[in-house]
Amino acid sequence: MGESFKAILVSRGEDKKQSVGVVDMTPDELMDGDVDVAVEATTVNYKDGLAITGKSPVVRRWPMIPGIDLAGTVISSTHEGWKAGDKVVLNGWGVGEVHYGAYAGRARLKGEWLVPLPEAFTPSQAMGIGTAGYTAMLSVMALEAAGMTPARGPVIVTGASGGVGSVAVAILAELGWHVVASTGRPEEAEFLKGLGAAEIIDRAELSEPGKPLGKERWAAGVDAVGSHTLANVLAQTTYGGAIACCGLAQGLDLPASVAPFILRGISLLGIDSVMAPKEKRLEAWRRLAADLDPDKLGAISTGIGFDDIVDAAAKIVEGKIRGRVVVTMG
Ligand code: NDP
């Protein structure tokens, strides 16, 4: 049996109505895996908000413990790469969607999904970054691989006050970019400037249907918003520029034209964090340790407890969370 621990469980009735509750579980109730991890810190990402509220079909196995990322210590392992006492980080791989996730005292995972907790970070700091911040880093790496440098001109970050956005602003500013932060929350202008944003624009400038091509305003971008916002970002990208597409906070659609691609030679770079190969994850976490100012990470993160997760999940889908929330487990 082993020691019991608390877990958040989302369940579905025969009427397909979703409910959420806190339950006591024992290790023998966990799903298959070869590494047991004591969860020390986790976080609430946008996807976790969708899973807990049921707003989008993130959960594809019922019941489910949500929570797509965690940092913690290995309790036991039959995987050759890990032993008891190792500090690890987990992002994605369907955890919290089809495999029991992070919102529990203990997680049973596959060893191949795990990466070492970088020495630069405590478990809480790693979850201050979380999947949102790791996705921001993947986006920056994709821009660099496409040849983008600060010398080319400004970079835009949409959804700038959110998790992906705030970490992207901090990293890009640290790397010397002139960062244009697009936000619907003018009250967060000082927060964004503190992270290094050089200009703040109202997201309303980008969120309505626009023209196929507009004035060239930025060389590169990290877009966490999708829909008309991404279409307008593309239409206002300078010749030869590149935009990393990683989110859908406004919508899953992309009502754009081919004009920016065939007339300005710009590139749209797709970013997926969930199934990203291990080498890319290791590189992203190495870069986060090097390029994210720990003071800015502190400013981005707000701490909450296990009992606050469900409330934070509702708030994040309403766009009411600033930066990142870190859940420190009891
Ligand atoms: P957050 O909710 O923290 O941030 C999203 C931000 O988008 C909000 O803070 C808000 O910023 C802006 N926003 C919200 N609603 C709208 C709207 N209707 N129109 C325009 N802007 C809006 O979420 P995360 O940062 O955690 O995630 C952002 C997106 O990235 C999500 O869609 C998520 O699913 C996706 N994602 C994708 C990953 C991948 O692997 N590709 C991994 C991680 C996240 P503001 O108030 O500043 O305008």
What structural domains does the chain harbor? 5-117+299-328 (3.90.180.10), 131-270 (3.40.50.720)
Radius of gyration, alpha carbons of the chain = 20
What local confidence, expressed as pLDDT, does residue 66 receive?
97
Contact 91, 281 (CB under 8 A): yes
Amino acid in the structure at residue 276: A
User: How many residues can be counted in the chain?
Assistant: 330
Task: Name every protein residue with a CB atom under 6 angstroms from any ligand 1 atom.
Answer: 45-47, 131-132, 135, 159-165, 183-185, 203, 207, 224-225, 229, 246-250, 271-274, 316, 319, 321
Q: Percent of the chain having pLDDT more than 70? A: 99
Give residue 255's pLDDT.
98
3-state secondary structure of 113: helix
Tokens describing residue 111: 């060893």
70 beta partners: 42, 90
Tokens of 103: 């919102």
Q: Residue 144: pLDDT above 80?
A: yes
Name residue, tokens 């009411």.
Answer: 320
Closest atom of ligand 1 to CA, residue 181: 47
Alpha carbon nearest to ligand 1 atom 23, residue:
46
Q: Specify the residue with its C-alpha closest to ligand 1, atom 5.
A: 162
**Closest residue (by CA) to atom 43 of ligand 1?**
132
Distance in angstroms (rounded) separating the CA atoms of residues 69 and 177:
29
pTM: 0.96
The confidence score (pLDDT) of residue 187 equals 96
What does the pLDDT read at residue 16?
A: 83
Tens of pLDDT, residue by residue over 200-217, are 999 999 999 999 999 999
pLDDT grade for 27, boundaries at 50, 70 and 90: very high
Q: pLDDT tens across 177-195, in order? A: 999 999 999 999 999 999 9
Does residue 2 have a pLDDT over 80? Answer: no
Instruction: Choose one of 135, 202, 272 to mutate for the ligand 1 pocket test, by most ligand atoms within 8 angstroms of C-beta.
Output: 135
Q: Which atom of ligand 1 is nearest to the CA of 316?
A: 2
pLDDT at 1 over 70: no
Name residues whose C-beta falls within 8 Å of residue 277's C-beta, 6 or more positions apart in sequence.
Answer: none
Burial track 246-269 (b if 16+ CB lie within 10 A, e otherwise): bbbbbeeeeebeeebeeebebbbb
Closest CA to 22 of 14, 11, 12: 11
CB atoms within 10 A of CB 168: 35
Residue range 227-242: mean pLDDT, rounded: 98
How far away, in angstroms, is 293 Cα from ligand 1 center? 22
> In whole angstroms, how far apart are CA 298 and each of 40, 102, 167, 313?
18, 22, 11, 21
Contacts of 247 (CB under 8 A, 6+ apart): 46, 135, 159, 164, 223, 224, 225, 226
Separation of CA 321 and ligand 1 centre (Å) = 10
Convert the pLDDT of each residue in 161-176 to its tens digit: 999 999 999 999 999 9
pLDDT digits (tens, 9 = 90+) for 263-316: 999 999 999 999 999 999 999 999 999 999 999 999 999 999 999 999 999 999
Ligand 1, atom 9, lies closest to the CA of 162
Mean pLDDT computed over 85-107: 97
Beta bridge partners of 279: none
The rounded mean pLDDT for the chain is 96
- pLDDT exceeds cutoff 90 at 57: no
* Secondary structure class of 86 (helix, strand, coil): coil
Q: Are the C-beta atoms of residues 90 and 113 closer than 8 Å to each other?
A: yes
- Mean pLDDT within 130-156: 97
- Taking the centre of ligand 1 as the mean of its atom positions, its distance from the CA of residue 132, in whole angstroms, is 9
Give Cα 66 distance to the centre of its chain.
15
Strand, coil or helix: 279: helix
